[in-house]
Structure 1
Amino acid sequence: MNSAGAVEKTEADFDEQALGAHIRRLRMAQQISLRKLAAEADVSVSFLSQVERGTASPSIASLMRIAKALGQTIGNLFEARTDNWLVRAGEAPRLVHPNREWDEELLTPREFTKLQVIRSVLAVGGSTGDEYLSYGPSETSMIIQSGEVDVTIGGETHRLRAGDCLSYDPSTQHSISNAADVPCVILFSSSAAVY
């Protein structure tokens, strides 16, 4: 982390090939054809094939649909795994989303189904993408630890700053973007785990 609070990333932080290989393993284990998974995730067969080969980066919305079609949460796609309920700083399973806009750490055990806590760093100019997100239902709170972020939910936009907390149902269409000049650190807490 630099003096401005930014998490410095390297190309090694996200491995599209590892993500794609994991998605392919999950698909094969469930004996789902590429065509069927693509249809259920509302993506093209060629795009899904590229994701599995690690040559294309899915948007957050596409990744959510792929995970859902596989009966998984995005949390299950985190590369690192832990069997320990104590998660020390820097040791949480991480997911750096394609395009490096989001860097997330799963702070609760993957096995938890009633509670999920994720620490996210949203890069300058980063967002949830062009599509509105909608998943859940759940009770979710997002607490801004540092920086600021714009959240549009149910047609209303809120500017959140450090210390602010917004609680919402993530099944309501929403989007998140960082128009500030520093990364935003957000703590998401959801019950039940939906991400």
Structure 2
Amino acid sequence: MDELLGSELKKVRKSRQLTLQQLSDRSGLSVSFLSQIERGLRTLTFTSLKKICEALDVNVNFFFDNGDSSFVKKEKTSYKNTGNFSYKSLVGKMKHPDFIPARIDLEAGEYQQIPYTHSGQEFVYVLSGQLEVEIEGVKETLYSNESIHIDSSMAHHWYNATDETTKLLLVSSTK
């Protein structure tokens, strides 16, 4: 787990005047897990990070460098690796975007089995590998060059249950 990300999560939680218990209640994640994340002792799945961000009312991009340009160039691309996934914001310098594009690499076996809901929409495009998707109890596998666009208020989750990295383009709405 990236200690800097855990430290930033803690700062945001405290700035919102939330206890670990309150964040746990809002996110559905245990107090001990959240404490370990903040101290950099545990790795974090992308799904868990999204739950925490929803509970803190911040976008995932808040914790990652958006860059200082509208152009996101290949040679300047830097991924934030948390152990279970790598995340690269593709927002650029836009201050209040209506949607958030990101490149995500889910490591082998990166998954969370519990579906959840949140505000907005998600568009997920599989660049390579395969992605297991469950929406309202219906499971489907997406392969390279396949996509899904969902209303995030429906119970859902997606994960990489393979032994290879899955590379995604994720575009999510801000509300």
**TM-score, with length taken from structure 2:** 0.80
Q: Which runs of 5+ in 1 are unaligned?
A: 1-13
What's the CA shift for 1:107?
Answer: 0.7
What's the CA shift for 1:92?
Answer: 4.2
Equivalence for 1:176: 158
Quote the Cα distance in structure 2 between the aligned partners of 1:42 and 1:151.
20
Quote the Cα distance in structure 2 between the aligned partners of 1:185 and 1:59.
15
Quote the Cα distance in structure 1 between the aligned partners of 2:74 and 2:22.
39
**CA offsets 1:91-129 (integer angstroms, 9 cap, x no match):** 3464434xx3321211113634312111111223332x1
Equivalence for 1:65: 51
CA pair 90-35 structure 1, distance change in 2 beyond 3 A = farther
Q: Which runs of 5+ in 2 are unaligned?
A: none
Could you say what secondary structure the match of 1:23 adopts?
helix
**CA offsets 1:40-90 (integer angstroms, 9 cap, x no match):** 334444443332222233444443332223221222122x34232111125
Size of the alignment, in residue pairs?
A: 174
Quote the Cα distance in structure 1 between the aligned partners of 2:45 and 2:167.
20
CA RMSD of the aligned region, Å?
2.6
Quote the Cα distance in structure 2 between the aligned partners of 1:38 and 1:148.
31
Could you say what secondary structure the match of 1:19 adopts?
helix
Is the CA contact (8 Å cut-off) linking 1:143 and 1:187 kept in structure 2?
yes
CA pair 90-38 structure 1, distance change in 2 beyond 3 A = farther
59-68 or 144-153, which deviates more: 59-68
**TM-score, with length taken from structure 1:** 0.73
Quote the Cα distance in structure 2 between the aligned partners of 1:62 and 1:155.
19
